Amino acid sequence: MASIRRTLSPYHDRPYQNGGTPFSTSPKHSAGSKYSSPLPAFAAFAVRVRRLIGELFYLHRHPPRKSHNHHHSWPRTFIYRCFFFFLLGFLLGLSPFGHDHHDDDEAASINRNHDFSFEINPPPQPNRVVDDLKLAEVSFNARPNFKESERFDFVPRKQLIIVTPTYNRASQAYYLIRLSQVLRLVPPPLLWIVVELNTASFETAEILRKTGVMYRHLVCVNNSTNVKDRGVHQRNTALDHIQRHRLDGVVYFADDDNIYSLHLFHSLRNISRFGTWPVAMLAQSKNKAILEGPVCNGSQVIGWHTNEKSKKLRRFHVDMSGFAFNSTILWDPKRWKRPTSVPIRQLDTVKEGFQETTFIEQVVEDESQMEGSPPGCSRIMNWHLHLGARHFDYPRGWLLQKNLDAYYLIRLSQVLRLVPPPLLWIVVELNTASFETAEILRKTGVMYRHLVCVNNSTNVKDRGVHQRNTALDHIQRHRLDGVVYFADDDNIYSLHLFHSLRNISRFGTWPVAMLAQSKNKAILEGPVCNGSQVIGWHTNEKSKKLRRFHVDMSGFAFNSTILWDPKRWKRPTSVPIRQLDTVKEGFQETTFIEQVVEDESQMEGSPPGCSRIMNWHLHLGARHFDYPRGWLLQKNLDVVLPIK
């Protein structure tokens, strides 16, 4: 007869039989039993934990036998094991593995002041002693990180409200884009109010949309053909808009055909009520620079500059672009204690030249309410020149045939400031480097090199040739790598031109717009393209038809390595590439290009199709007129009218 031998349990206090579990119910421990444990509650809990651990490792010590209840005990024990190790890992993850007792008091004070604070300590460095090295805290919280005693008051910039009346004319795009490029460099907030006459043209809307300046495009409904009345009504339309919408800022009338410095717009924000400054302009003969505006002692206006005998009867001798005022004067008369609430507007019933003084008389009572800018009124900040050529034919909508867009700029330094780097501006002066040029270059914010060409030639043609050759010598000697472009300072350039220069591999060319010799017609000179392939040339000068390449000096660019790495480009000779002063005027371009490329197959038309005008060669400036050296005023100006 087979005998059954029971395995002795290693736990003598186990109340369950072999094959049971710690949670199996024994008959003698049922709810209806009178059995009660003699152990206290804590001891009973310890026994249960002990039984649980024993059960977790039970299968490891005693492999399961084939029994009828094996399929019940094995999964349950496996679950217990997983739960145990999960709980153990969770508790270990919450437990810190170390503690830094350094600066406990400081950390405690930080925790009292901040929700979350993390101090970044530098790693220890061998053989180096660092005394009292403290790094800034990194704090993540919703509360401010400064104490009440350390608070500061942030004063936002005043908004500038620039009012520009414009009308449809040949040079409208040139003037608008030139002004927009300046306004784009002015820190915000700035609102540009552009007022057109009768209808809002599509061309003006397109220009404003692409400027990157916040603007409002208004329309003045008026049928007047008088230039004086037209500007008055357009400015009044802007004043109505400012008053109706209660725009808060400094109002400045900036005509699109004036020339402005950035310093002017920065100084406008310092105006409290009414600010004024001197304006430079050309005399009627356009051979002399005159001045109109205040004479100042610090910021106090003590007199007026004037050069027009017919205007000496005016109360205030100032140009329309020579003053600015606080916009709240228009819609908050109580704040400024104005005696009347009649709207402030310009008058079209007064003689030409008296609109400024009649308008200013509505804004201030006398010079005591004015502020001279800059202190001493010793700096010219804008010019009223009117150098444009009038009455020349221009394609309708500022477009040449086949939709060649015309874009204009005047200040080369301000254009280059908007071009993304890297950019190097090489400026070459003749014989000596003037202080005025150096000052302008220093303030542009553009990386530059200021060179001097020593040459005594008085011929304008020869002078430009020698100056460009000086730059080419510098590029070759220093092996500068990039795209070389000859940008004369009296041309007009679009930003798109400088962006397209970066796409040039060897030699790129494009059409240039210019005025004919009679200056009454716009002509075109440059390549005719099929995509980027040059297939012909535009030319309008009979005397220049003998040239090999019909292109303006500002109508091409080339890779600088052609100058100092002839092997790379398989040039047949290593003779330096330079411009020639021995050829006739108008042939410098073609003789230079013949040294760079062999024919049109090595050229790249830009942009594809050569269908866009990217720069203008106009030469609209008046030559040989005197103006104060360095754009600073002198004490011995023609006429000074003291305040009576």
Q: How many CA atoms lie within 13 A of 478 on its CB side?
A: 11
Integer Cα distance of 320 and 160 in angstroms: 17
C-alpha to C-alpha distance for 293 and 639, rounded to whole angstroms:
11
CA Rg, the chain, in Å? 42
356 assigned to active site: yes
Helix (H) or strand (E) holding 48: helix 41-56
Query: What H or E segment, with its residue span, contains residue 430?
Result: strand 425-430
Q: Which amino acid belongs to residue 525?
A: E
Which two structure tokens, joined as six digits, stand for 8?
């002795």
- Helix and strand totals (H; E) in the chain: 16, 28
Tokens coding 448 = 């530059």
Distance, in Å, from the CA atom of 509 to the CA atom of 19, rounded to the nearest integer, reads 96
Dihedral pair phi/psi, residue 450, rounded to 5°: -105, 110
Binding-site residue positions:
257
CA distance 340 to 333: 8
Positive or negative: CA dihedral 59, 62, 64, 69: negative
Does residue 199 contact residue 157 with C-beta atoms inside 8 Å? no
Rounded Cα gap, residues 162 and 345, in angstroms: 16
Q: Which residues lie closer than 8 Å to 95 by C-beta, 6 or more apart?
A: none
Contact present, 511 and 586 (Cβ < 8 Å): no
CA distance 450 to 435: 11
Give the integer Cα–Cα distance in Å for 534 and 552.
15
Catalytic position from the list 55, 196, 292, 356:
356
Residue type, 627: Y
Contact 486, 554 (CB under 8 A): yes
Return binding residues for Mn(2+). Answer: 257
Amino acid at 214: M
8 A C-beta contact, residue 200 and residue 234: no
Q: How far is it, in rounded angstroms, from Cα 355 to Cα 360?
A: 9
Catalytic residue numbers read 356
